[in-house]
A and B are shown apart, each in its own frame.
Chain A
Amino acid sequence: NAGVTQTPKFQVLKTGQSMTLQCAQDMNHEYMSWYRQDPGMGLRLIHYSVGAGITDQGEVPNGYNVSRSTTEDFPLRLLSAAPSQTSVYFCASSYVSGDYEQYFGPGTRLTVT
């Protein structure tokens, strides 16, 4: 049971480039989410999904796209990277019933130059 996995661990992009951060979970969780964490701040929700085919915006969605075609995967796409998107990105998942406890992936550290 791998839990929540994220790739890559580190990434450097130039302004204007696009890329996809990968997130997968093997716990059959309905809920998956993406957060960004900036220095000295808490996590801010970017997008989330409560099941395959269902996504919605969080607190800071601009500049990011998501899709959820399977229960297991929830990729985050940066359309045209900007220096303001330099951050650590965390993916998390949980059930949508019970205690809703979220399990977090190890994170992706992204630098945009």
Chain B
Amino acid sequence: ELKVEQNPLFLSMQEGKNYTIYCNYSTTSDRLYWYRQDPGKSLESLFVLLSNGAVKQEGRLMASLDTKARLSTLHITAAVHDLSATYFCAVDRGTYKYIFGTGTRLKVLA
């Protein structure tokens, strides 16, 4: 059974600081996704990672995938208040049965 764990679950950080959110999954999987959700809103796709060693960057966010370690990271560089949101990773083994992590609630303090 595929399980996805994120940590930390809650993250409060100062503006300008760097931090990393971790996403571990339990079995070999083909695809890993990162999403952002603002309070009361829907999910917005951030990154799609499809191969070992994949790295993608958008603004202050960078995501990477290590399929051998079954680990993805979402790195935040020089955080700003606008990045405050809940971040989810999701994994799929190529069967379209997506399993989501429980989310990391990020609060960036001015």
Measured CB to CB, the residues of A under 8 A from B are 31, 33, 35, 40-45, 48, 50, 56, 58-59, 90, 92, 96, 99-107
For window 77-104 of B, CB contacts with A under 8 Å fall at: 88, 90, 92, 96-103
Q: Is there contact, CB below 8 Å, between B102 and A40?
A: yes
Q: Is there contact, CB below 8 Å, between B45 and A106?
A: no
Give the distance in Å from the alpha carbon of A43 to the alpha carbon of B50 in the complex: 21
Overall SS of chain B's interface: strand
Query: Could you tell me the distance in whole angstroms from the C-beta of B24 to the nearest C-beta in chain A?
Result: 14
**B42 contacts A by Cβ under 8 Å:** yes
Answer whether A44 and B100 are a contact pair too, CB < 8 Å, given A90-B42, A100-B31.
yes
Measured CB to CB, the residues of B under 8 A from A are 4, 31, 33, 41-45, 48, 50, 88, 90, 92, 96-103
Query: Could you tell me the distance in whole angstroms from the C-beta of B109 to the nearest C-beta in chain A?
Result: 22
Enumerate chain A residues within 8 angstroms of B50, measured Cβ to Cβ.
99-100
Chain B: CB-nearest residue to A31: B96
Query: Could you tell me the distance in whole angstroms from the C-beta of A109 to the nearest C-beta in chain B?
Result: 9
Give the distance in Å from the alpha carbon of A99 to the alpha carbon of B54 in the complex: 13
Give the distance in Å from the alpha carbon of A11 to the alpha carbon of B41 in the complex: 17
Enumerate chain A residues within 8 angstroms of B43, measured Cβ to Cβ.
43, 90, 92, 104
A–B pairs, 30, beta carbons within 8 Å: A33-B96, A35-B100, A40-B102, A41-B102, A41-B103, A42-B90, A42-B103, A43-B90, A43-B98, A45-B97, A45-B98, A48-B96, A48-B97, A58-B97, A59-B97, A59-B99, A90-B43, A92-B43, A99-B50, A100-B31, A101-B33, A101-B45, A101-B48, A102-B33, A102-B98, A104-B43, A104-B44, A104-B45, A106-B41, A106-B42
Give the distance in Å from the alpha carbon of A46 to the alpha carbon of B101 in the complex: 16
Query: Could you tell me the distance in whole angstroms from the C-beta of A72 to the nearest C-beta in chain B?
Result: 18
Give 10 A-B pairs besides A56-B96, A101-B33 with Cβ atoms closer than 8 angstroms. A31-B96, A35-B100, A41-B102, A43-B100, A45-B98, A48-B96, A90-B42, A99-B50, A104-B42, A106-B41
Enumerate chain B residues within 8 angstroms of A92, measured Cβ to Cβ.
43
